């Protein structure tokens, strides 16, 4: 048997070369296309990350432009509205509303802290009646200021909070305030005249303006030194804040 090897002619060889070249070119184009696709996807991802970071920066810039970093000063409070040791190293300022349920609950904490840190803390009371939501808050503050005139602010304040549910919805709560004043060392006739004294309103509004200057938006708000404690946080963090101030 004779093996006949057919020698391909020139055309056949060229055809094979052309096919091989075509395959190589197709492969190269395919690789290039894939590479470009990956590159495009990569650049899109990078652009999206930059856009996300830019968008996240917008609120940061806006907030920093508006945010108040310094608050107004705490102004003097009459001695009648201060309790505890007048020379105590730690001062607690309370912005409170007599009709606010959280303020009433927080009185136990205030009394406990005054007991625990006897001689180390003094508490100043500031009026901040939230008149938009508490219709009798202003009248209660005025009654408390009348009690303060007769140095009976603290016992009157305790009773106001204790009987809050009884007077908060009344059309005219004056009778309730008189009932609170009767057992205390208060001259009721003077107290009654004082309840209608329009000069008491600016005193209360002065405290409320101070609260707004200090960006107080809720009651009760306490300042233990520089630290602000709002609502129930005072019950959990009050002692820690006092200790921190005492260590200074």
Name the minimum Å distance from CB 213 to other proteins: 13
**Residue number, 26 or 62, with CB nearest to other proteins:** 62
Diameter over CA atoms, the chain = 143
Name the minimum Å distance from CB 78 to other proteins: 26
User: What x/- string results for residues 41 through 70 when contact with other proteins is judged by CB under 8 A?
Assistant: ---x--xx--xx--xx-xx--xx--xxx--
CA distance 159 to 147: 12
Residue with tokens 């705490």: 74
Can you state the percent helix, strand and coil of the chain, rounding each to 5?
60, 10, 30
Q: Give the helix/strand (H/E) hosting 229.
A: strand 227-230
Q: Within 156-215, which residues bind other proteins (CB under 8 A)? A: 215
Give the tokens for residue 180: 């609170």
- Answer yes or no whether residue 225 interacts with other proteins by CB under 8 A: no
Name the minimum Å distance from CB 71 to other proteins: 8
Taking Cα atoms as reference points, which of 241, 122, 133, 147 lies closest to residue 203?
A: 147
Taking Cα atoms as reference points, which of 150, 145, 140, 147 lies closest to residue 176?
A: 140
**Residue number, 184 or 239, with CB nearest to other proteins:** 239
Among 20, 33, 75, 133, binds other proteins (CB under 8 A): 133
Say what the alpha-carbon torsion angle 33, 35, 41, 43 is, to the nearest 10 degrees.
-120
Name the minimum Å distance from CB 163 to other proteins: 17
Taking Cα atoms as reference points, which of 82, 81, 73 lies closest to residue 210?
A: 73
Judged by CB under 8 A, the stretch of 139-147, 178-186, 192-200, 222-230 that binds other proteins is 222-230
Name the minimum Å distance from CB 130 to other proteins: 7
CA distance 50 to 179: 67
Name the minimum Å distance from CB 41 to other proteins: 12
- Residue 131 CA: distances (Å) to CA of 98, 171, 172, 203: 11, 14, 15, 15
Among 101, 178, 192, 213, binds other proteins (CB under 8 A): 101
Name the minimum Å distance from CB 199 to other proteins: 28
- Answer yes or no whether residue 217 interacts with other proteins by CB under 8 A: yes
Taking Cα atoms as reference points, which of 228, 223, 219 lies closest to residue 101?
A: 219
- Answer yes or no whether residue 137 interacts with other proteins by CB under 8 A: no
Q: How many residues bind other proteins (CB under 8 A)?
A: 34
Q: Which residues bind other proteins (CB under 8 A)?
A: 44, 47-48, 51-52, 55-56, 58-59, 62-63, 66-68, 100-102, 130, 132-134, 215-218, 221, 227-233, 236
């Amino acid at each position: 048997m004779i093996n006949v090897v057919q020698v391909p002619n020139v055309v056949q060889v060229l055809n094979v070369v052309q096919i091989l070249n075509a395959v190589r070119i197709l492969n190269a184009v395919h690789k290039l296309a894939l590479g470009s696709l990956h590159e495009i996807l990569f650049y899109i991802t990078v652009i999206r990350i930059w856009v996300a970071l830019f968008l996240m920066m917008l609120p940061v810039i806006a907030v920093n432009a508006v945010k108040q970093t310094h608050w107004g000063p705490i102004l003097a409070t009459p001695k009648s509205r201060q309790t505890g040791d007048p020379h105590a190293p730690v001062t607690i300022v309370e912005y409170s509303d007599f009709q606010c349920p959280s303020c009433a609950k927080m009185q136990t904490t205030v009394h406990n802290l005054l007991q625990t840190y006897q001689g180390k803390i003094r508490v100043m009371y500031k009026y901040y009646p939230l008149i938009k939501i508490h219709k009798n808050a202003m009248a209660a503050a005025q009654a408390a200021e009348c009690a303060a005139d007769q140095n009976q602010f603290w016992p009157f304040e305790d009773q106001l909070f204790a009987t809050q549910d009884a007077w908060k919805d009344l059309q005219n709560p004056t009778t309730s305030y008189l009932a609170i004043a009767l057992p205390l060392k208060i001259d009721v006739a003077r107290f009654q005249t004082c309840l209608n004294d329009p000069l008491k309103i600016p005193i209360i509004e002065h405290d409320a303006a101070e609260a707004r200057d200090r960006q107080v938006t809720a009651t009760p708000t306490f300042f233990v030194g520089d630290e602000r404690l709002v609502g129930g946080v005072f019950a959990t963090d009050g002692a820690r804040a006092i200790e921190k101030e005492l260590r200074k």
